Amino acid sequence: MFRNHFRVVSLAGQFIIHSGQAKLHVMPHFPGCPFENNAEVDKWLNYFTMNAPLICTTVMHSHDPGHNLRLEHTHCYSDHGDAGHYHYDVTPETVSYEGWFAPSNKIYRIDEVPNR
């Protein structure tokens, strides 16, 4: 039983934001030189408040088993033209979510980024 506490649990699925608004970012064109730190990346991203309904596809992990995984990664789109990388909702009083998730049996990392 003890070793199961170290087993990574991963979920993937979709959720819909039926009402409210969420903060998402959109990436502009990449600059000609690499970023020095996360602060530069954050300054480069374009953040927007986007309106529901938003359809989102996500993956999340309980911990990184050594593959430089993001613990959560979600992208959203809509029929009204809003889309981007999901961060969080900004209208907690009115937001409404509905989601469908399934656990994974394996994790595959393609083109692993060293020391991210």
- Residue ranges and CATH numbers for the domains of the chain are 2-103 (3.30.1330.80)
The model carries a pTM of 0.84
Answer yes or no: are the C-beta atoms of 95 and 69 closer than 8 Å.
no
pLDDT of res. 57: 99
Give strand ranges (E) for 40-114: 46-51, 54-61, 72-77, 83-89, 96-103
Cβ-based neighbour number of residue 44 at 10 Å: 14
Residue range 39-62: mean pLDDT, rounded:
96
Task: State the residue for tokens 């530069």.
Answer: 40
pLDDT of res. 1: 40
Q: Over the stretch 15-31, which tens digit does the pLDDT of each residue have?
A: 999 999 999 999 999 88
pLDDT of res. 103: 96
How far apart CA 28 and CA 112 sit, in angstroms, is: 23
